């Protein structure tokens, strides 16, 4: 294509046309700087968002299944209160799953069912749900799932210094199937041969003097028909874990299931952040697959007639994460908008550059036309000039961004030194800023910068294509 050949020739700086070369260099520099800035900023913010997302979903799973009102009003949930085999108490999902009996009710020995008692017209929704999840796991091998229980209790801890801590806490059954658990726990899961049930405290307790081996109690109230009775469970600090960035994380204790089941049997607990107190966590190795897996699971639930019993929620809808994630999305949209505006301003430089180039090359345009070049070809030459400037700037800006991201820690420490304090609070941003190039950001600049440059080249290209060769050549 002769147009590329000519466009490349025009873009090479020449002594004779130093003003064009200067403006051309400035345009490339400005666009490169914008590309660099956009790439570094978007990459770091994307990384921060990823880290926060990981920390938000590390304790909770990215997909959660929770029982609906239909489940709680169903025969299978209600029947336990009328069955001797269930000790006349409601069961948690875990207990229902482990129970060998789907229907514990014995008409000959158990009390008669009330008139308006829900009918038994469906198979066991808990066992069927786990069967469906097992079926899905065959298709998605890295999928893991586990039921969880949450409760609330007053935690009293006696420290080795003889001082004591007392706090209302939330209790979460230890999610031992959670693939992230080993990275969250600062001490591995311990055996239960020592006295007291092993519990894991958020690491902020350690800052307040708690140590492994400290003993304490979990106290909760069991409501009976006539009065309420306080119950205690002896516990032992088996380790600490990183609760991530959840609002209630600093008050959430990881406890064995026996504890949460004991609480569930006698009292109802409400989670302050809207998390259902009983449900199923579904983990994936890649959080990006959440929507796809959720859709598959939803289809499976519909197919098996389980959809009315289970509410499927992804991390984007979690009460404790929703606002933060929406804020991240808004920030990203705003940032992309600002980046687009800056890119438009930077690329508009190309218009003046190319107008100057067209004036400079008027005679050559006329010569090319005398040799048979069509106006379309002439316009293409200058359109290409704009696009090539955009591409070159993208290349320079991307290289600069990669270099910056590679040495981000050094730059941050230099910035911290200059400021005399940490430039980025490790509590929010982690030990170091994320330095992986965001492909999303790269795609954004690779598409917008050359396209905007091409658009900027259109006016000069149109001007060039309208040059009358006879007029130019006659005046030479």
Partner 1 sequence: MILTATHITKTFTSPQKIKLLSDISLSLPAGASLAITGKSGEGKTTLLQILGTLEKADSGTLTIAGQTVTPSLAPTLRNQHIGFIFQSFNLLEDFTALENILMPLRIARKPASPAHALALLDAVGLTSRAHFPAKLLSGGEKQRIAIARALVTSPDLILADEPSGNLDHENAAAIHDLLFSLVRERKKTLVLATHDLDLAARCDQRMILCQGNLRNW
With H, G, I as helix, E, B as strand and everything else as coil, classify residue 163.
coil
Q: Strand pairing partners for 63?
A: 282, 314
Q: In the set 37, 342, 367, 462, which binds partner 1 (CB under 8 A)? A: 367
Question: Is 476 a binder of partner 1 (CB under 8 A)?
Answer: yes
Shortest spacing between CB 357 and partner 1, in angstroms: 13
Question: Is 473 a binder of partner 1 (CB under 8 A)?
Answer: yes
Of 99 and 377, the one with the shorter C-beta distance to partner 1 is 377
User: Site size for partner 1, by CB under 8 A?
Assistant: 23
Shortest spacing between CB 9 and partner 1, in angstroms: 6
- Three-state helix/strand/coil letters over 262-282: HHHHHCCCCCCCCCCCEEEEE
Of 189 and 367, the one with the shorter C-beta distance to partner 1 is 367
Q: In the set 364, 423, 430, 459, which binds partner 1 (CB under 8 A)? A: 364
Of 414 and 470, the one with the shorter C-beta distance to partner 1 is 470
With H, G, I as helix, E, B as strand and everything else as coil, classify residue 218.
strand
Of 24 and 46, the one with the shorter C-beta distance to partner 1 is 24
Whether the Cβ atoms of residue 320 and residue 248 lie closer than 8 Å to each other:
yes
User: Considering only CA atoms, which of 134, 250, 156, 247 is closest in space to residue 201?
Assistant: 250
Q: In the set 166, 285, 370, 432, which binds partner 1 (CB under 8 A)? A: 370
Q: In the set 104, 151, 397, 469, which binds partner 1 (CB under 8 A)? A: 469
Interacting stretch for partner 1, rule CB under 8 A, among 60-68, 104-112, 237-245, 366-374?
366-374
Tokens of 86: 């269930």
Return d(Cα 398, Cα 155) in angstroms, integer. Answer: 53
Q: How do strand 197-202 and strand 228-241 relate by DSSP bridges?
A: parallel
Shortest spacing between CB 470 and partner 1, in angstroms: 4
Of 378 and 442, the one with the shorter C-beta distance to partner 1 is 378
Whether the Cβ atoms of residue 240 and residue 186 lie closer than 8 Å to each other:
yes
Interacting stretch for partner 1, rule CB under 8 A, among 49-57, 187-195, 369-377, 393-401?
369-377
> Left if phi > 0, otherwise alpha if psi is -120 to 50, otherwise beta: which for 305?
left
Interacting stretch for partner 1, rule CB under 8 A, among 1-9, 260-268, 397-405, 431-439?
1-9
Whether the Cβ atoms of residue 250 and residue 210 lie closer than 8 Å to each other:
no
Interacting stretch for partner 1, rule CB under 8 A, among 2-10, 258-266, 351-359, 441-449?
2-10
Q: What angle do CA 228, 234, 238 make, to 5 degrees?
A: 140
Distant-in-sequence, close-in-space partners of 139: CB < 8 Å, separation ≥ 6: 296
Q: In the set 363, 395, 430, 462, which binds partner 1 (CB under 8 A)? A: 363
With H, G, I as helix, E, B as strand and everything else as coil, classify residue 150.
strand
Footprint of partner 1 on 95-134 (CB under 8 A): none
Return d(Cα 276, Cα 149) in angstroms, integer. Answer: 9
Question: Is 8 a binder of partner 1 (CB under 8 A)?
Answer: no
Shortest spacing between CB 447 and partner 1, in angstroms: 29
Q: Which residues bind partner 1 (CB under 8 A)?
A: 1-2, 5, 9, 14, 363-364, 366-375, 377, 469-470, 473-474, 476
């Amino acid at each position: 294509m002769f147009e590329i050949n000519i466009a490349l020739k025009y873009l090479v700086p020449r002594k004779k046309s130093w003003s064009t070369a200067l403006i051309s260099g400035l345009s490339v520099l400005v666009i490169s700087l914008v590309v660099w800035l956009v790439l570094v900023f978007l990459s770091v913010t994307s990384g921060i968002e990823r880290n926060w997302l990981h920390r938000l979903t590390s304790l909770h799973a990215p997909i959660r299944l929770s029982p609906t009102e239909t489940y709680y009003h169903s025969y299978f949930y209600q029947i336990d209160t009328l069955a001797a085999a269930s000790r006349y108490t409601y069961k948690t999902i875990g207990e229902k799953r482990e129970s060998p009996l789907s229907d514990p009710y014995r008409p000959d020995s158990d009390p008669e069912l009330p008139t308006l008692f829900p009918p038994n017209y469906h198979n066991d929704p808990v066992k069927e749900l786990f069967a469906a999840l097992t079926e899905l796991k065959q298709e998605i091998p890295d999928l893991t799932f586990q039921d969880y229980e949450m409760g609330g209790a007053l935690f009293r801890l006696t420290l080795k210094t003889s001082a004591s801590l007392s706090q209302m806490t939330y209790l979460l059954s230890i999610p031992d199937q959670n693939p992230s658990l080993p990275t969250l726990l600062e001490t591995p899961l311990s055996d239960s041969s020592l006295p007291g049930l092993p519990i894991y405290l958020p690491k902020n307790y350690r800052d307040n003097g708690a140590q492994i081996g400290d003993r304490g109690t979990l106290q909760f109230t069991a409501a009976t028909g006539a009065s309420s009775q306080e119950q205690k469970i002896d516990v032992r600090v088996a380790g600490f874990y990183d609760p991530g960035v959840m609002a209630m994380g600093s008050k959430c204790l990881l406890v064995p299931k026996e504890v949460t089941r004991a609480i569930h049997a006698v009292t109802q607990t409400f989670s302050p952040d809207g998390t259902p107190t009983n449900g199923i966590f579904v983990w994936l190795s890649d959080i990006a697959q959440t929507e796809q897996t959720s859709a598959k699971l939803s289809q499976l639930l519909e197919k098996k007639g389980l959809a009315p019993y289970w509410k499927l929620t992804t991390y984007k809808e979690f009460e404790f994460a929703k606002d933060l994630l929406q804020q991240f999305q808004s920030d990203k949209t705003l940032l992309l908008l600002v980046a687009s505006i800056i890119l438009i301003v930077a690329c508009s430089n190309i218009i003046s550059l190319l107008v100057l180039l067209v004036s400079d090359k008027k005679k050559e345009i006329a010569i090319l036309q005398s040799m048979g070049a069509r106006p379309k070809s002439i316009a293409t030459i200058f359109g290409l000039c704009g696009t090539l400037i955009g591409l070159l700037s993208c290349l320079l800006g991307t290289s600069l961004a990669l270099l910056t991201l590679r040495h981000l820690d050094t730059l941050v420490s230099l910035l911290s030194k200059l400021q005399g304090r940490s430039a980025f609070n490790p509590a929010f941003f982690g030990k170091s800023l994320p330095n992986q190039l965001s492909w999303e950001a790269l795609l954004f600049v690779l598409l917008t910068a050359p396209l905007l440059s091409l658009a900027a080249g259109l006016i000069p290209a149109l001007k060039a294509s309208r040059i009358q060769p006879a007029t130019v050549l006659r005046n030479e």
